Amino acid sequence: MTGGASGIGAAIAARLEREGTKVRILDLRDGFDVSDPKAWAGVGPVELACLNAGVTTGTGELTAVSDDAYRRIFGVNVDGVVFGTRRMAEVMAPGSAIVATASLAGIVPLATDPLYALTKHAVVGFVRSVAPQLERRRIRIVAVAPGIVDTPLIAGTKQVLEEAGFPLLQPEDVADVVLAAARRPATGEVWAVQPGREAVPFRFPNVPGARHRSGDRAGRPPAH
């Protein structure tokens, strides 16, 4: 469990521990940097890996984001998922599952933090794209994409949201969906989570197919 010291991660850990599951938390507070590939070398196999660590830039103004802040958000939100998934693919037993915490900002635009949206779009695309190769190892991977959750990440805007009457998810709401999604036989799904609504796998629209010019020989894209 990455990012398990607070927020969604802490709620997932608490839920698993109530069920009698042993949980190992990997958090920066304890010296574990998810963006460091060397740190993952010492992580062993688990039945369920929750790749949950995440940060924001705290601004929608691109010119106000320093190089270090950009590297940090990309390192935690994207590298943490990629390095974690890569390590789990090496050590996990068949039948295990990975859940990555994405966001609705990985499905729709988020003008208040474009770089956060960038990283969560990357997580969504990665999970959907890597699922087939993990499935060949009999490892499932899904993503959970919650709306705005009442965690320390929104400390700077929580009052504004509450004054506007904007409904917030609780970390426990997301934890319930994480475990439900992890226990389904499906893989490559992205679960949208919103207050007051049943969580469901998001249905991505199909893109228009290629259209061949008259006289061209029809064919399929090359296999990769």
Residue bearing the bigger pLDDT, 189 or 167: 189
The number of angstroms, rounded, from the C-alpha of 190 to the middle of its chain's C-alpha atoms is 9
- What's the rounded Cα separation, in Å, for the pair 178 and 191? 9
Using alpha carbons only, how large is the chain's radius of gyration in Å? Answer: 18
The residue ranking higher by pLDDT, 169 or 166, is 169
The mean per-residue pLDDT over the stretch 114-128 comes to 97
Q: What is the pLDDT of residues 7-23, one digit of tens each?
A: 999 999 999 999 999 99
Is pLDDT at 221 greater than 70 in this prediction?
Answer: no
**48-96 per-position pLDDT tens digit:** 999 999 999 989 999 999 999 999 999 999 999 999 999 999 999 999 9
170-197 mean pLDDT: 95
What CA–CA distance (Å, rounded) separates 20 from 16?
A: 7
User: How many angstroms separate the CA atoms of 172 and 204, rounded?
Assistant: 26
- Going by pLDDT thresholds of 50, 70 and 90, the confidence category of residue 175 is very high
User: So what's the pLDDT on residue 136?
Assistant: 97
Q: Quick one: CATH architecture of 7-201? A: 3-Layer(aba) Sandwich (3.40)
Q: How far apart are CA 204 and CA 100, in angstroms?
A: 18
> Per-residue pLDDT for 215 more than 60?
no
Question: Do residues 102 and 126 lie in contact, with contact meaning Cβ atoms separated by under 8 Å?
Answer: no
